[in-house]
């Protein structure tokens, strides 16, 4: 069995764990909203029509913040359509996904759902087909206490108290030619800056996210961020990143190493932000909002231009297997390793659409394999992130060259230390040794692992429990050394607590 080593030392702190790293995303796309979180008449639905079984799983998942309502959807969205009596709301053709949007769920319903789920909304404004005035109006509708047109309209609509939404996205992926209202970096940068100023005139306390590149393969990547930030640096708090990963042509080894790409992506955006800050002679540091990330088998999607117009169609409902879950675990580790600059992250999406939660209309619900790494990281990654700098055997990949078999990070929260680790080997276990001299007196509480002999195994609504984490025996601390065995192709959580 090959061996890997790491060291735990509170002096090697990266930063504090921001709970908003464990965010999610609800877009009016496919069945994420309709028959996902919302299904009147479902046996578990509450009086507002929200599915209770889904709410229970959202709470179990540990989601902290949820981005809404898009995504590509937002660039053609009139937020006013989703307010007021439902019987008066218009039915629209959504241009992004060629779907029929009934507007049964809008800003007030979503804010109500968020309160019940125990999450904070992250609201996106439409800067594709709309502009400064409409963005400021939405902030007034959501956040102003009363005594103005839009805030009084909210009260009239049954929401006496403001929603107090603190985190806002200035549009979505406007660098992308597919985006309704696609713009150049100059066009978007000027519009985003003016929208940001107007929105803060309504509510000075809000935080704002500028659109970064849709992905790091865009031909304008880097130049887009630099131009946009030259316009918006003084007016925004974050710049966004989006990335999706999939296995290409059976190359599992490269797929398992795709967190290398995320790591480089984050580093490049941080460098660009700091370059612009230096150029403008600002002490302020722009933080990162990685507000779309996941495994997505995008090559299976035919493209929006080939879709038929219908309400709540089944779109990109990927069924995730064990290897996908291990990759999601490695992406979570990467986000934690950049906790000094990445403050917000949203796994896309929450229900049905490339999601950890699958539902059937009128029927059951299940936790996909990717549910478990997210839920465990959200539950146990608390306090301070520690830089562990592992020493690991390496393996060759076609896309990323030599890559470590071990991906790992640790967090410390008072008397508790938690190690998160992925073994990328598809064939053999990996021995792990951790030096605990700087955190003496700890013992193993439990070693949780997600691993299966068949790494293509999935969960379904019909068979929801085929893949689950299990408790492993064998991890122990002798002196100030932790030893554990990480199964082949596995996500692992090793919890330590100071002895009484």
List, in sequence order, the alpha helices (H) in 176-258.
185-202, 223-232, 252-256
Q: Give the long-range contacts of residues 410-414, CB within 8 A, separation 24 or more.
A: 410/6, 410/8, 410/385, 410/386, 411/17, 411/336, 411/380, 411/381, 411/382, 411/383, 411/384, 411/385, 411/386, 412/8, 412/10, 412/383, 412/384, 412/386, 412/439, 413/382, 413/383, 413/384, 414/383
Which of 194, 225, 247, 292 is catalytic? The answer is 292
Dist CA 450 CA 465 (whole Å): 12
109 flagged as catalytic: no
The β-bridge relationship of strands 120-125 and 342-348 is unpaired
Nearest to 240 by CA among 336, 328, 342: 342
207 CB burial (10 A radius; 0-12, 13-18, 19+): middle
Give the phi and the psi of residue 404 in degrees, each rounded to 5.
Answer: -65, 140
CA distances from residue 239 to 316, 413, 498 in whole angstroms, order as listed: 26, 28, 39
Nearest to 19 by CA among 117, 120, 115: 120
Which of 173, 194, 225, 247 is catalytic? The answer is 173
**Tokens at 366, concatenated:** 């299940």
Dist CA 368 CA 354 (whole Å): 10
173 flagged as catalytic: yes
Dist CA 233 CA 281 (whole Å): 11
Q: How far apart are the first and last CA of the chain?
A: 34
Annotated catalytic sites, by residue?
Answer: 173, 292
């Amino acid at each position: 069995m090959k061996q890997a080593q790491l060291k735990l030392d509170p002096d090697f702190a990266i930063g504090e764990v921001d709970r908003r790293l464990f965010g999610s995303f609800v877009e009016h796309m496919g069945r994420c909203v309709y028959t996902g979180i919302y299904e009147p008449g479902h046996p578990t639905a509450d009086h507002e029509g929200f599915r209770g079984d889904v709410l229970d799983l959202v709470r179990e998942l540990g989601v902290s913040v949820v981005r809404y309502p898009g995504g590509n959807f937002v660039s053609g969205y009139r937020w006013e359509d989703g307010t007021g009596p439902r019987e008066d709301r218009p039915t629209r053709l959504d241009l992004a996904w060629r779907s029929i949007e009934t507007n049964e769920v809008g800003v007030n319903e979503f804010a109500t759902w968020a309160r019940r789920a125990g999450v904070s909304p992250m609201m996106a404004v439409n800067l594709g087909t709309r502009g400064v005035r409409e963005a400021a109006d939405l902030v007034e509708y959501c956040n102003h206490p009363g005594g103005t047109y839009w805030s009084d309209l909210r009260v009239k609509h049954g929401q006496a108290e403001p929603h107090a939404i603190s985190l806002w996205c200035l549009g979505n992926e406007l660098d992308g030619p597919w985006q309704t209202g696609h713009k150049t970096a100059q066009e978007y940068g000027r519009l985003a800056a003016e929208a940001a100023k107007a929105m803060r005139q309504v509510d000075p306390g809000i935080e704002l996210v500028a659109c970064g590149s849709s992905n790091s393969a865009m031909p304008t990547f880097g130049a887009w961020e630099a131009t946009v930030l030259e316009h918006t640096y003084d007016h925004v708090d974050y710049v966004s990143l989006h990335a999706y990963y999939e296995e290409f042509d059976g190359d599992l080894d490269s797929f398992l190493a795709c967190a290398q790409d995320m790591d480089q992506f984050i580093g490049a955006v941080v460098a660009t932000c700091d370059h612009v800050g230096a150029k403008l002679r600002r002490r302020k540091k722009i933080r990162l909002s990685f507000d779309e990330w996941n495994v997505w088998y995008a090559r299976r999607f035919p493209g929006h231009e080939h879709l038929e117009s219908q309400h709540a169609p089944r779109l990109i409902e990927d069924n995730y297997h064990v290897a996908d879950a291990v990759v999601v675990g490695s992406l979570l580790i990467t986000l934690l390793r950049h906790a000094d600059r990445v403050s917000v992250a949203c796994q896309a999406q929450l229900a049905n659409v490339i999601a950890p939660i699958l539902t059937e209309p009128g029927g059951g619900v299940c936790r996909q394999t990717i549910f478990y790494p997210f839920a465990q990281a959200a539950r146990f990654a608390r306090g301070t992130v520690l830089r562990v700098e592992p020493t690991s055997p390496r393996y060759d990949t076609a896309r990323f060259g030599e890559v470590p078999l071990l991906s790992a990070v640790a967090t410390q929260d008072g008397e508790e230390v938690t190690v998160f680790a992925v073994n990328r080997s598809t064939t053999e276990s990996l021995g792990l040794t951790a030096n605990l001299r700087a955190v003496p007196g700890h013992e193993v509480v439990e070693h949780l692992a997600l691993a299966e002999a068949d790494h293509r195994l999935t969960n379904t609504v019909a068979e929801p429990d085929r893949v689950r984490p299990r408790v492993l025996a064998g991890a122990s601390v002798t002196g100030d050394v932790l030893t554990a065995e990480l199964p082949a192709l596995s996500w692992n959580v090793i919890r330590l607590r100071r002895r009484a």
